[in-house]
Structure 1
Amino acid sequence: MSERVVPPAARRRRRPTKQGVVLSEELIVETALRLIEEHGADALSVRRLGRALGADPSSLYRYFRHTDDLMLAITDELIGRTLSTWRPTGDWRADLRDLGLRMHAGALAHPRAAVLSSYRVTGRVHEIQAVETILGVLRDAGFPDPDAVRIYHAFVDQALAFGAFDSASVALPQAAREAETAVWRATYARLPADTHPHIAATAHHLVTDMSHSSYPAALDLLLSAATTRLSQTKDKS
């Protein structure tokens, strides 16, 4: 999808497509998201999208200028889906933990899209809402503005990075995932203590732990550090 601009007033398609549906930004994003999970990044072509929608590919330019514009819309849609399921309780640490876990789960629900979108900044409505919401949680908890921004930055980057990392693993063929998990049992658990004492001493824990995402543990470490930071701030005041 190359650069091409259609005036906003002319973007809405009034006639149904060949499949009897009326195009909209929401329908195109939903279809693109489904195709990405089925075919990867190659799904973002006007020809493939047009075929899936039963529409002339050129009609997509009424809604998105190019594929990157569509990718940003997909990214924002994933953010919006996470926010729609999250309800704050007023406990800043519990709320951020819940939100982080929901962000991670949302990435795993759409692994290929998560890998493509994790590093993007959209400047769109759901992302703006997320930035405002997370900063609000931190500032209301009592974090000074510089700390609120640093913790926001670390929190979001951590969630997105783990989401992309774990999504890449999920997107592997099942045989490859099983083979990688087996390495901990077949190789690490059998290393002798005389040559690899630390691995041998912790082999049971490695076999148990390494097959799962470390995101919850990493998130708890981040929130513990933030809690300590907040306590130090209050002690100084």
Structure 2
Amino acid sequence: MTERVVAPAARQRRRPTKQGVVLSEELIVATALRLIEEHGAEALSVRRLGRALGADPSSLYRYFRHTDDLMLAVADELIGRTLRIWRPTGDWRADLRDLGLRIHTGALAHPRAAVLSSHRVTGRAHEIQAVETIIGVLRDGGFPDAEAVRIYHAFIDQALAFAALDSADRVLPKAARDAEAAVWRATYARLPADTHPHIAATARHLMADMRHSSYPAALDLLLGATAARLDEFRAQESPGRSH
């Protein structure tokens, strides 16, 4: 797509496409998401999308100005899919842990799209809702405003970084993934204790642990440190604290 702007009021297509469907932003985004998982970044072309939708490619400009605009909509849709299935409980730590794991799981369900979009800032409705929700969880949990923003930043960057990292691994060809997994057995497990004592002592744990994502452990470490910070703030606010 190239830069081209159509007024929002003129975007809605009333007539069905050749395949008998009425175009909408939601349909285009869902189709783009499916094509990305099948073909990668090259799926985001008006020609390929037009064929998949049974529509004239030029009609897509009624909804998106260019491919990057569409990519931001895809990124925002991934956020929205996570938010739709997440329900807060009122326990800030449990809520953030659940949300973080859902972000990660949602990325792995659409790994090619996650690799392309995890680093993007969309400024769209679902992302705005996510920022509002997470900061609200932290403020309601008792964190001062500046600290709530600092923790939000660390929390979301950690979640999205692992989403991109683990998604990139997920889209590797199976042969490449198997070859990398074998390195822990073929190389690290065989290093001698006289030259690599620490690796040799922990080799069996390395082989067991390195096969899995470290995101749940990293998330727990972050939340543990965050809880400790909250205890510090509460201690400072206690009227009986020593000076």
Give the aligned partner of residue 86 of structure 1: 86
Give the aligned partner of residue 127 of structure 1: 127
Deviation digits for residues 113-159 of structure 1 (CA, Å, limit 9, x no counterpart): 00110111111111111000000000011101111000000000000
Deviation digits for residues 76-128 of structure 1 (CA, Å, limit 9, x no counterpart): 10000000110111110000000000000000000010011011111111111
Q: Report the Cα distance in structure 2 between the residues aligned to 1:15 and 1:83, rounded to whole angstroms.
A: 32
Give the aligned partner of residue 39 of structure 1: 39
Aligned residues: 237
Give the aligned partner of residue 204 of structure 1: 204
- Which runs of 5 or more structure 2 residues have no equivalent in the other structure? 238-243
1:226-237 equivalences under 5 Å are 226-237=226-237
Q: Report the Cα distance in structure 1 between the residues aligned to 2:72 and 2:104, rounded to whole angstroms.
A: 19
Give the aligned partner of residue 55 of structure 2: 55
Q: Report the Cα distance in structure 1 between the residues aligned to 2:222 and 2:10, rounded to whole angstroms.
A: 48
Corresponding letter in the other structure for 1:36:
I
Give the aligned partner of residue 103 of structure 2: 103
Give the aligned partner of residue 30 of structure 1: 30
Q: Report the Cα distance in structure 2 between the residues aligned to 1:98 and 1:122, rounded to whole angstroms.
A: 23
Q: Report the Cα distance in structure 1 between the residues aligned to 2:50 and 2:91, rounded to whole angstroms.
A: 46
Q: Report the Cα distance in structure 2 between the residues aligned to 1:68 and 1:231, rounded to whole angstroms.
A: 43
Corresponding letter in the other structure for 1:43:
A
Does 2:220 match 1:220? yes
Q: Report the Cα distance in structure 2 between the residues aligned to 1:144 and 1:15, rounded to whole angstroms.
A: 52
Corresponding letter in the other structure for 1:79:
I
- Which runs of 5 or more structure 1 residues have no equivalent in the other structure? none
Corresponding letter in the other structure for 1:31:
T
Deviation digits for residues 17-45 of structure 1 (CA, Å, limit 9, x no counterpart): 11111100000000000000011110001
Question: What SS does the corresponding residue of 2:199 show, helix, strand or coil?
Answer: helix
Q: Report the Cα distance in structure 2 between the residues aligned to 1:137 and 1:12, rounded to whole angstroms.
A: 37
Q: Report the Cα distance in structure 2 between the residues aligned to 1:8 and 1:234, rounded to whole angstroms.
A: 49
Corresponding letter in the other structure for 1:130:
A
Give me the identity figure in percent. 83
Give the aligned partner of residue 137 of structure 1: 137
Question: What SS does the corresponding residue of 1:19 show, helix, strand or coil?
Answer: coil
> CA shift at 1:9, angstroms?
1.6
1:152-171 equivalences under 5 Å are 152-171=152-171
Question: What SS does the corresponding residue of 1:90 show, helix, strand or coil?
Answer: coil
Q: CA RMSD in A?
A: 0.5
Give the aligned partner of residue 185 of structure 1: 185
The farther-off stretch of 14-23 and 93-102 is: 14-23
1:15-26 equivalences under 5 Å are 15-26=15-26
Q: TM-score, normalised by structure 2?
A: 0.97
> CA shift at 1:6, angstroms?
1.0
